[in-house]
Amino acid sequence: MSTAVIEEKKTEKTLNQLDQLKSFTKVVADTADFESIRQYKPQDATTNPSLVYAATQKPEYAHLIEQVLTDRKKSGLSGSAQIEDMCDHLLVQFGCDILQVVPGRVSTETDARLSFDVEGSIAKARRLIQLYEERGIPRERVLIKIASTWEGINAAEPLTKEGIRCNLTLMFSMPQAVRCAEAKVQLISPFVGRIYDWYKKEMKRDYTGAEDPGVQSVTEIYDYYKKFDIATEVMGASFRNTGQILELAGCDCLTISPELMDALSKSTEPVEQKLVPKKAKSTNIEKLQLDEKKFRWLLNENAMATEKLAEGIRKFAADVVKLEKFVTGKI
């Protein structure tokens, strides 16, 4: 064996788990803290109002907030319209700064209080894209996050047709994933950790490895998409530990918090690609046919998905209110 080959094999052995994962999965940073994003060099990043709010509490971002608020005080708006305008600009400002760090895309969330409002979601998505484009950011680099309710997916469908790419979030079930595929959305975010939380509490036991219900849910969706040649990207989200991440190695994308990226970067244990398109093709899955009645019934029959979707919307909505109160206090 040549010296060059030996050296190459040595290098392969010393790659950390995060770098190994990047070889077959697009790693996405789950944070609005672009300094930590810079450290781990992900391809994309995802944000939401709670992550942006957490970042606004850090002194290093104070100048950014003051700049946005100073600029938007001249907007001529007042009351709730002014607060909404400032929050929109703040979310987009964080997104623009993140796009200076990542080479790919950033996800920016619509107001969770619009989760059952088709027209409201469409209007908000168009507004956010407009703000990005005014700053010279092409819409191809932005994913608009919308809750994967029936109404949210119905909003994403026409948005997709007009070139606004959507990330359907708060996903906990196959019917949600199938409806998103029908709408041809760009990307979905099935939540691993919150599914795991529900089953751990309900069944009064822990789960590890491939038996983790959150891991199983994403695997099932991934297999379905690859089996039926669905182009929508699958991005596992909401992780509680590195074990869940490693069980989904090979997924199209995985959005990971800085803490878990750090843990992966400190381990050189080998990472095996668990999700493989060719393997998914051979799985025995029947195509699911949906209309609104069947979608709502199947979601209702899934206690975990029903509860976690409702809870997720409430929590994200509360985070929007928290951000609005923060902005109000700054005026």
CATH of the domain at 188: 3.20.20.70
Q: Does residue 4 have a pLDDT over 80?
A: no
Name which residue leads in pLDDT, 7 or 98. 98
3 in a structural domain: no
What pTM, to 2 d.p., does this model score?
A: 0.93
Report how far apart, in Å, the C-alpha atoms of 232 and of each of 43, 56, 120, 225, 313 are.
17, 32, 24, 8, 23
13 in a structural domain: no
For 139-198, write each residue's pLDDT tens digit: 999 999 999 999 999 999 999 999 999 999 999 999 999 999 999 999 999 999 999 999
Q: Does residue 54 have a pLDDT over 80?
A: yes
For 5-19, write each residue's pLDDT tens digit: 444 444 455 899 999
- Give, in degrees to the nearest 5, the angle at Cα 172 between 257 and 184: 95
Q: What is the pLDDT of residue 65?
A: 87
| Contacts for 142 with CB less than 8 Å, ≥ 6 apart | 95, 105, 106, 107, 108, 128, 129, 132, 165
Q: Are 144 and 84 in contact (CB under 8 A)?
A: no
Q: What is the pLDDT of residue 306?
A: 98
Q: What is the pLDDT of residue 81?
A: 95
Backbone angles phi, psi at 233, to 5 degrees: -75, 145
269 in a structural domain: yes
- Average pLDDT score over residue span 11-39: 90
**Count of other CB atoms within 10 angstroms of residue 6:** 10
Task: Report the number of distinct structural domains present in the chain.
Answer: 1
Name which residue leads in pLDDT, 171 or 65. 171
Q: Does residue 31 have a pLDDT over 90?
A: yes
The whole-angstrom separation of Cα 150 and Cα 159 is 15
The whole-angstrom separation of Cα 329 and Cα 308 is 31
Q: What is the pLDDT of residue 114?
A: 98
Task: Work out the burial of residue 3: count CB atoms within 10 Å of its CB; fewer than 13 is exposed, 13-18 middle, 19 or more buried.
Answer: exposed
9 in a structural domain: no
| Contacts for 27 with CB less than 8 Å, ≥ 6 apart | 18, 21, 40, 42, 43, 253, 254, 256, 261
Task: Work out the burial of residue 122: count CB atoms within 10 Å of its CB; fewer than 13 is exposed, 13-18 middle, 19 or more buried.
Answer: buried
What token pair was written down for 63?
Answer: 């100048």
Q: Are 125 and 167 in contact (CB under 8 A)?
A: no
Which of 70-74, 232-236, 266-270 has the least mean pLDDT? 70-74
Residues catalogued as catalytic: 145
121 in a structural domain: yes
Mean pLDDT of the chain: 94
The whole-angstrom separation of Cα 5 and Cα 11 is 10
Domain residues for the domain of 159 are 33-330
6 in a structural domain: no
326 in a structural domain: yes
273 in a structural domain: yes
